[in-house]
Amino acid sequence: MAPGSGSSSATPAAADRSTGGAPLLTPAQERALVAVEHRRWRVDALVLGVAALLLRLPMYFAPRSLVFDDGVFASSAFAMRAGELPFRDVFSSQGPLFLPLVYLGDLVGLRTLDAPRVLSVAAGVLVTIATYSCARHLTTRANALFAAALVTTSGSILWVTGPINADGASLALSVLAVAFALRYRADPRLANALLVGLAAGAAVSIKALAVPAVLVAGVVVLASHKKVVHAASAALLGLAVYVLAAVPWGIERVWEQSFRYHDQAVRQDSAAGSLGKVLSTLWDRDLLVVVALVMAVATWALVRGGLVSRAPIGGGRRFVPAIVALVLWSTLVIALLVWEPALWRAHVAHVVVPLALLAALRPPPWRVLAIAGLLLVPIAAIQQHDLLWPHGYEGEQAAVVTRLESLGDGALVISDDPGLVWRAGHRPPGALADASFQRIDNGDITVDRLVRAASRRDVCGVLVTSPDHFGRFTTLGERLGAVGYLPERFGPRITLYGRPGCESA
């Protein structure tokens, strides 16, 4: 995915030819210059990828479930290891491509305890490199490195590209689609347009929040050279990717679990409240991006006001269209976040990349950035200490995990916190891997269903940890006792209903 021959960082010779500047380079010299730029691109991408990987290794090996979804999707991966299928056996709230990619990442990770996190870490590497690729088509090499650094260290990005989360993979592929679109603008071949469709279709097949980036990528493709056939081919390929990802699991099941489930969610906040959550999340998790954007706007205003003089960045006339496209991208994401009924802080990650690219178009002098970095990087690191220095379970939770580890191999445990079960090396039945309170709200998880599942011979325990989840069912303990389960309490909130005889020999 090296920058195309039309990128702003690889065409000084072309600029000389088009403007009549001197000296003109020979074709051989132009090819040599492009080859040098491509080598620099590959070196930069390698360094950025390694840095993104190293930053996420503590999260990959974290000895506890970092967020609720971390446990949900790890449990789903364990269920798929046992032969259970998405949407049929494993409840799947995300798009049809997500759990198959989790399965593939788990396989690449050799199916160890931490292996389900492979996809998220890979997404962190990909979104970093894809952001750099986008920026290379819009601004200088140094600024592109700055944009990629902002993205890979963003707290919002880290929260979805360390713990297992569908937003990370969807975001990475959607940014890749934009990068391919910019490559198409520089090199308008059908193959490049099809790459846009492939990445866009995969992104939307994971999460609908990728739509704003996909729309921006489509606009870039269509507006760049007005080749309608190329744009239509990319769109059809993207649609085909979604259909092919959904068909194996059943279109109706995919629609019910990955769309209607979210559409029927109870709205958590008003539109103003959702916007406030977006802004507060950016401030809490993305201090570096926010400050960089503010400084970039201030620098732009000073240049426009004639108070300081700086050379144009981003290829002269391309600068304004780039700003328009990035502002459109950011606005569409924020509008979608405010509109959706169940807004979670993880969703805010989708607005970080366009904001970081805007910040990198015209940053302040590097000396100013260095001073700001010295002041702000320690604060940002403290804000994300739970991810950068994750600790293990403590107290009651540690005791529960130890108790669950005593169960026999292959024992299943139903839990409203599936992360505890995962870290003990077990799993719930696939249909209950996702025990989110939304499924309780809409009647998908009930006392009757839990008791029926607990009656399976391979289920050895039911773990209740939260009054917002299984703790709502006041008759659950009595019903489980009637089928042979005995309660074991770990503090005032956590109760494990265990089936006698399930301990390992």
For the segment 328-373, what is each residue's pLDDT rounded down to a tens digit?
Answer: 999 999 999 999 888 899 999 999 999 999 999 989 999 999 999 9
Structure confidence at residue 315 as a pLDDT band (50, 70, 90): very low
Structure confidence at residue 309 as a pLDDT band (50, 70, 90): low
Structure confidence at residue 103 as a pLDDT band (50, 70, 90): very high
Q: What is the pTM of this model?
A: 0.91
* Closest of 206, 208, 264, 252 to residue 439, by C-alpha: 264
**Could you read off the pLDDT of 410-441 as tens digits, one per residue?**
999 999 999 999 999 999 999 999 999 889 98
Report how far residue 282's alpha carbon sits from residue 123's, in angstroms, rounded to the nearest whole number. 20
What pLDDT is stored for residue 270 in this prediction? 86
Following CA atoms 89, 93, 94, 98 in sequence, which dihedral angle do they give, to the nearest 10 degrees? -30
What pLDDT is stored for residue 319 in this prediction? 66
Report how far residue 494's alpha carbon sits from residue 487's, in angstroms, rounded to the nearest whole number. 10
Q: Could you give the strand order of the β-sheet that contains 486-490, starting from the edge strand earlier in sequence?
A: 412-415, 459-464, 494-498, 486-490
* Closest of 417, 337, 356, 336 to residue 155, by C-alpha: 356
User: In the beta sheet, which residues pair with residue 407?
Assistant: 503
Q: What is the DSSP letter of 162?
A: S
What pLDDT is stored for residue 23 in this prediction? 59
Report how far residue 464's alpha carbon sits from residue 65's, in angstroms, rounded to the nearest whole number. 16
Q: What is the DSSP letter of 488?
A: E
**Could you read off the pLDDT of 112-164 as tens digits, one per residue?**
999 999 999 999 999 999 999 999 999 999 999 999 999 999 999 999 999 99
Residue 232 has pLDDT above 90, yes or no: yes
Q: What is the DSSP letter of 47?
A: H
Following CA atoms 18, 21, 23, 26 in sequence, which dihedral angle do they give, to the nearest 10 degrees? 0
**Could you read off the pLDDT of 257-288 as tens digits, one per residue?**
988 887 777 777 888 999 999 999 999 999 99
Structure confidence at residue 308 as a pLDDT band (50, 70, 90): low
Tokens 């606009």 appear where? 219
Residue 503, SS3? strand
